[in-house]
Chain A
Amino acid sequence: MATQQAPPRGTVRIEAPDNDRKDSYWVAPTAILATFAVFVIYSTIRAFMGKYYSTYYDGHSFAWMAANLRGASAIRPHYWSPFYSPYIPGYFPFLKALKIGSWPLSAALYVMVFPLAFRASCYFCRKTYYRAVFRDPEACAVKEKFARLNYTGETKLPARAVNLHRYTFYIAVILVIFHWYHLYNAFFYSQYGQTHFGVGLGTIIFLVDTVALTAYTFSCHSWRHLVGGVINRYSRAKSRFKVWSGVSKLNEYHGQFFWISLVTVLIADLYVFLVSSGRITDIRFF
């Protein structure tokens, strides 16, 4: 017979040699990693700082009132850093006495865990950090550098906790409400002990940030599921179908909103920091 013996059938695959991706697939995860690093370093510093989170309140008293007694002509815009929102010690004053050693506990530490949890369990964010940080995978069809033998995905703790994303969403909605509250305040400033309506650069920043954060929150996959993703027959739930369709449209841009809101929230906080620490003066439009 002229045929050769056929190779045995097995289950082990062969790496096709020299068929790696030729494009610069490593750029995106590297850039993301750098962005995350900047954000983490900045927010850690700011979270532990415990001051310069408001342009009109210093943690003990409303500074603008004191300023009013000192130099009444100064304009005090009503800006409040999103990192310190809501201001928990404001509702539970005994917390102000808490200290680590001689160091007063920063008010940011009470709240920052919530946006962090929301983002960490966000379906879009998970994709980015699994790719950029855990390299699991770094990019599509790329050999994993630290391929673990016993990959379990999101079936084991702690990764399994991301299934509770809906709860972090509920909290995020509360945070969004506070954002809008702070945005409302940002349309006012104080001078000579009087409160006036006005718009400064910070107001614009807050406006953009609040809209971005709202869009990010309400384009959430869990929210999409809760408003109507669970329904199988939409013709019997017409109003929920409308809401679901709207959220689905938004949801397509969830990733974009994630990045935009991440940057705007950082800028908002930075702006508050710069103004309240006196490094710059708020630019006023009227």
Chain B
Amino acid sequence: MESFETFEYDVLVIGSGGAGLRAVIAAREAGCTVGVVCKSLLGKAHTVMAEGGVAAALGNMTNPDGTKENDSWKVHFVDTMKGGAFLNNWRTVEIFTKEAPERVLELEQYGAVFDRTPEGLIAERPFGGHKYRRLNHVGDRTGLEIIRTLQDKAVGVGMTVHMETTCTRLLTENGRVTGAFGYYRDTGNYVVFKAKSVILATGGWGRMYKFTSNSWEGTGDGLMMAYEAGAELLDLEMIQFHPTGMIWPPGMRGILVTEGVRGEGGILRNSKGERFMFNPKYMPDLYKGQFAETEEEASRWLEDKQNNRRPPELLPRDVVARAIYREVQDGNGCEHGGVHLDVTHRGEAYIKRKLPSMYEQFHAMGGVDITKEPMEVYPTVHYTMGGLYVHPETCETSIPGLFAAGEVAAGLHGANRLGGNSLSDIIVFGKRAGEHAAAFAADHAFGAINDEQIAEEQDYLTEPLRASSGESPYVIHQELQETMQTNAMIAKTEQTLLTALTKIQELQQRAKNIKVAGDRYFNPGWHAARDVRFMLRTSEIIVRCALERQESRGAQWRLDYPNREDATWGKVNLIACKNGDEVKIVRRPLPEMPAELKALFEEGK
């Protein structure tokens, strides 16, 4: 076993996005010593990518007649449950909607500077699936504002930051987590964190898909560390596709085109020039009559929102994503396999004023002038609703001493996430995870560090360097992306999923013979070798869960089971956990919602 250094903390937080930093603050305020591990630099997490806003029912907005919008946690609760197709844990959602406003106001005290209403309150904007204006925002960079605020606050309360350090394994003793093992990305030296409790806030995973808005970090290592340690995973088949990711030019593939473009009148057209969202076959029964039925009405809506219905381009994300997918499948795709999103009719001056960062981004990075030409878009992997099973109150996973918050945890979003709920998710459950991890740390002493586990992991990590010959991890990654993209993307059938599963299993075999050149000193190839093995396992579980759930619900769209089966599948979550080398999947009934919450759905009608 190679030497390593050890750091000891009451609470160890893995991941320094919004959820991780909010947990740091909570644990520190409870009096614990806190260490935080960042895979990149501090403050560079995916939280910065969130643009729209943070959803919390503050009810700050005023109607044209001067009355306040009647928003409350109850309405937010109903919206979130409906949006999640009732696969959410009702208790998680209840806590979430009740606490979100408080958490947002707390951010303000920490230094976040939100946009204001004329009354001087935090400004809130409308978003898909939210009944009232509820997204508290700062222009189109709300995520940046939140992470910077939490970063500054966390630095202020005192923590120890381990930047560019990757954890690859949780250390356990008798089923309890006692620490984590990892390496420094720059030197490749090993490090062990000994902790009374550990919080995972490692975010989501999207890198196994070709079209994704995720960065290199989204490889699911936090999820897989917990899985390997025996944690239960919930509903991994639920992966959200953002309908409008760039597909062309290739340099911009996967980059999001914000929903704001459609909100400002962006039109989706297929290769025949048809505005296909008006095709009645794409209109779900649930939304019939709520959207414009003629192009004239849709364009009138831009000027007069009160007397016209919104254009069908603004249907929920999963609906639009499916429509785009179908158009391309039916042979109506444009030259690069996507559809056109056209906002040129709004005029150059208007676009530059209303969508400045979009204009700037496309102009500077892709050489695309969105005021003059349409963008070509296709659905892109965006968010993972599934993840670690956590207790709604404490955020503890099924492993004692291991807590999780943010995108890596599951239960809040169900089968589909509403825009803006992720930013409030991280602050609500980040705080809870921090508090409860601190409480756990107060009740428990340090556990023992198991040297065998460390030696095993070191051996596993260095295999690709020692190998005399083998494949490049990038090749395996690319093939994985291809198969996931073709077979397990937006529309799935049993057949495609089985194809994907076979391919993944083949890749898993090949991954045993990875070879990377160079040494451990800041070697991206070596890092990729570990990541790709995490991704293979994650992909396998995603595919297996998608096979298991024989219905279409939210983000899960099975062409062979096109209906939503509320009586059967609507009542169960899929739990995946490790069973030797196999993945065990069981159906677990959803907890029954109490009558008073059920009543909320009647009130809304």
Which residues of A are at the interface with B, using a C-beta cutoff of 8 A?
1-4, 6-7, 9, 235
Contact = CB atoms under 8 A, between A and B. Distances in A.
**Most chain B Cβ neighbours within 10 Å, of A3, A9, A235:** A3
Interface in B487-520: 519-520
A2 B465 contact: yes
A2 B189 contact: no
A7 B521 contact: yes
Interface string B470-481: 000000000000
Contacts of B2: 1
A2 B463 CA distance: 10
Interface residues of B, number: 11
Contact of B462 (A1, A4, A6, A7): A1
B187 A2 contact: no
A7 B187 CA distance: 8
Contacts of B120: 235
Contact of A6 (B188, B465, B466): B188
A1 B521 CA distance: 14
Contact of A4 (B189, B466, B521): B521
Nearest to B187: A6
**Most chain B Cβ neighbours within 10 Å, of A4, A7, A235:** A4
A9 B465 CA distance: 23
A235 B188 CA distance: 54
A7 B189 CA distance: 12
A149 B543 CA distance: 62
A9 B187 CA distance: 9
Contacts of A2: 462, 465-466, 519
A120 to B, nearest CB: 37
A122 to B, nearest CB: 31
Contacts of B465: 2-3
Contacts of B520: 3, 6
A6 B120 CA distance: 55
Contacts of A7: 521
A2 B187 CA distance: 14
A3 B516 CA distance: 11
Nearest to A235: B120
Nearest to B467: A2
Q: State the majority secondary structure of interface residues on B.
A: loop
A236 to B, nearest CB: 11
Nearest to A9: B187
A1 B458 CA distance: 11
23 contacts: A1-B2, A1-B462, A2-B462, A2-B465, A2-B466, A2-B519, A3-B188, A3-B462, A3-B465, A3-B519, A3-B520, A3-B521, A4-B519, A4-B521, A6-B187, A6-B188, A6-B189, A6-B519, A6-B520, A6-B521, A7-B521, A9-B187, A235-B120
Given A2-B462, A2-B465, 10 more contacts: A1-B2, A2-B519, A3-B465, A3-B519, A6-B187, A6-B188, A6-B189, A6-B519, A6-B520, A6-B521
Contacts of B189: 6
Interface in B1-19: 2
A199 to B, nearest CB: 40
B347 to A, nearest CB: 25
A154 to B, nearest CB: 28
Interface in B510-568: 519-521
A235 to B, nearest CB: 8
Contacts of A1: 2, 462
Contacts of B462: 1-3
Contacts of B466: 2
A24 B187 CA distance: 39
**Most chain B Cβ neighbours within 10 Å, of A1, A7, A9, A235:** A1
Interface in B335-379: none
In order of increasing CB-CB distance, the 3 nearest A-B pairs are A4-B519, A3-B519, A6-B187
A6 B465 CA distance: 15
Interface in B168-190: 187-189
Nearest to B521: A6
Interface string B280-316: 0000000000000000000000000000000000000
A234 to B, nearest CB: 12
Contacts of A235: 120
B519 to A, nearest CB: 4
A9 B184 CA distance: 13
A3 B520 CA distance: 6
B473 to A, nearest CB: 16
A4 B520 CA distance: 8
A262 B188 CA distance: 59
B343 to A, nearest CB: 29
Interface string B105-121: 00000000000000010
Contacts of B519: 2-4, 6
A1 B465 CA distance: 9
A92 B2 CA distance: 88
Nearest to A8: B187
Interface string B445-467: 00000000000000000100110
B252 to A, nearest CB: 26
A2 B520 CA distance: 9
A238 to B, nearest CB: 14
A3 B461 CA distance: 12
Interface string B185-208: 001110000000000000000000
A237 to B, nearest CB: 15
A230 B562 CA distance: 63
A59 B339 CA distance: 81
A235 B118 CA distance: 11
A275 to B, nearest CB: 48
B548 to A, nearest CB: 41
A6 B521 CA distance: 6
Contacts of A4: 519, 521
Contacts of A9: 187
B188 to A, nearest CB: 7
